[in-house]
Amino acid sequence: MGRTSNYCFDYPQTNASFTVTYVAGHITELDFPETHRKWNSCDPFTLFDAPVEVKHPQRVNELVRNIEIRARGSDMLMIWTDCDREGEYIGYEIAQVCQKVNRRIKIKRARFSAIIADQIHRAAQNPTNLDLAQADAVIARQMLDLRLGAAFTRMQCMALQNRFGNLLEGKLVSYGPCQFPTLGFVVSRYEQVKAFVPETFWYIYLALNRPGEQNGRGREDQTVFKWKRGHLFDFDVALMLYEMVLERPMATVKKVVKKNTKKWKPYPLTTVDLQKSGSRLLRMSAKQILDTADALYQRGILSYPRTETDQYDDQFDFGQYIQKQTSSPEWGAFATRLRQGEFSKPRKGKKNDKAHPPIHPTAYAGNLAGNEKKVYEYVTRRFLASCSKDAEGFQTTITVAVNGEEFSASGLLVLERNYLEVFPYDKWSSHELPPFEEGEEFMPTICELREGETTRPSLLTEADLVSLMDKNGIGTDATIAQHINTIVEREYVMERLEGNTKYLVPSTLGVGLVHGYNQIGLEKSLSKPQLRRETERSMVQVCDRIKTKDDMLQESIEQYKEVFILARREFNLIINKDQASLKVHKALKTVADEVEGMVEDEVEDQPAHPHLPTRMMIRGTDRHQLQAPDVE
């Protein structure tokens, strides 16, 4: 396809002739004028108020000329860009080009969620207007990010280069209003892991070996009862209760509760959930997942992959999309059963962006490979699972008492797997208990006072980080992945593989920057989410026409000006007082050597005494040296 390809055809449904062309993302960019563009041309603080130019970069000149030529002879411009904020602003950019050469041209907007025939026809026949409020939110965000990024990056880079120029080796130490809070989450968890000190606890372990109903060969099943108190950090109290149990060790069944239970099918799929689940289950980065989903959307295989909606409208046609999956050799039989009467309406979540439905397959694609196959299979299985019934089971809970101390055990019999048949990512299996009757008594096979330790929190995975960013309003569902990718590319954070899990570890430069800004004593530190969260909320208010673009910009810039003044005043003090606070001399080295063993390993609880009478072994524990930090 040439860079200026155009497709001309008649469209009888609207009695119109169309010429379809394209752009590749934004066709304008913001920059400072030449007087402020060079790093030493001005005081970085002046960038908060410096003039900003909107221009067409050279790479789009041919595309812009093509649009101008077509606009001169057209009556209407119909925008078909992605139906989100960015797409709305790209549409606005195109409209500006067209109106410059043809003031009378009408501007209309096609709205759709999937590149499939019925939605394309519906959008073409029912055009709407551009949402200029969404476009305003994007230009405000671009303007703010340009000013903040340039001002803070120049300030911190020049300060560091003046002091540590040779050690930095020309490295750009950039600032971004989203990337710094994102980095802050990684550093915060790393510090929690580094500072963790395990705390010893004790608990009573009770178990009974009894022939099971289904083992068939005389093998005994062991039923483990959990202590109602969980565990205690006070050894003397735990020992006192254990000795009380030993005085009258006969257990009495106090209650047998049998009830039906369910494992709920998954909610409809949002962008954030796709990134979280995908990075955890598919071993792909959030950016890889979103890029792959976008490529599948462009080919009409998936619906639009950037959506906050986790509920389907009542008019959604599930049947046509389920039917398309019946030809699959892997899940076609399951899809057929849904069409034949096993369909159950998906659960309704709490979010609806009123723009796009949850992510779902729009076509069957049996010839995919690699990452495309993994993402498509997950989305499709998730969709079919959401259209199935909850898994059903039968749960038995036994409560026993031993001289006043209560213990319980639970068993499960899975009766109907339902959605689990097509969704192997969820696990739910039977583990039955032997029969118990209320009032019966038995002598436990094992009754021990056991010792365990609290386990350290794990370093952040990408799925964890996506959750934190979403919860704290850092970025949007469509930009979260890019912000994570940025801090990795800038080497503020490194990826470390432990077993099958990839963890995020801050570099010494990343740790130093976060520590430095935290030491300044800002009420709202740049490494914390508060400032950016307020900005994201303001952008939503612009979209909802509660606040104007100019008001939002003025409020945000004034906030960051105050932060900048204090940060610059204290920045040199940090360098002068404690060169190690930024650890610039190790900027490109990770803290990997310190991370060995920091990944979360479950510490198996060890019996402090394998036999009932061995109480002296417990008393021999040097409990006075134990430390007890806060447990996450």
Active-site positions read 304
DSSP structure string for 379-392:
HHHHHHHHTSPPEE
Distance in angstroms (rounded) separating the CA atoms of residues 208 and 604: 20
84-89-91-94 Cα dihedral, nearest 10 degrees: -160
Place of tokens 């892991």: 193
E strands within 244-365?
A: 251-263
Cα 420 off chain centre by = 23
Type of residue found at 446: I
Q: How far is 574 from 580, CA to CA, in rounded Å? A: 9
Q: Which candidate, 350, 274, 272, places its Cα nearest to that of 311?
A: 350
Give the C-alpha separation, 509 to 589, whole Å: 8
CA dist 317 and 165 (Å) reads 62
CA torsion through residues 13, 14, 17, 21, sign:
negative
CA 133 to chain CA mean position, Å? 27
Angle, helix 85-101 to helix 132-168, in steps of 10 degrees: 110
Tokens of 577: 């007082």
Positive or negative: CA dihedral 8, 11, 15, 20: negative
By C-alpha distance, which of 200, 209, 206, 150 is closest to 176? 150
- Rounded to whole angstroms, what are the CA distances from 575 to 195, 209, 492, 579? 24, 65, 19, 5
Whether 307 and 356 have beta carbons less than 8 Å apart is answered as yes
* Long-range interactions of 367-372: CB distance < 8 A, separation 24+: 371/282, 371/284, 371/288, 371/292, 372/292, 372/295, 372/296
Joined tokens for residue 556: 């945000």
Q: Amino acid letter at 295?
A: A
397: β partners: 257, 410
The half-sphere exposure of 542 on its side-chain side, counting CA atoms within 13 A, is 26
Please name which of 177, 178, 111, 135 lies closest in space to residue 28, comparing C-alpha atoms.
135
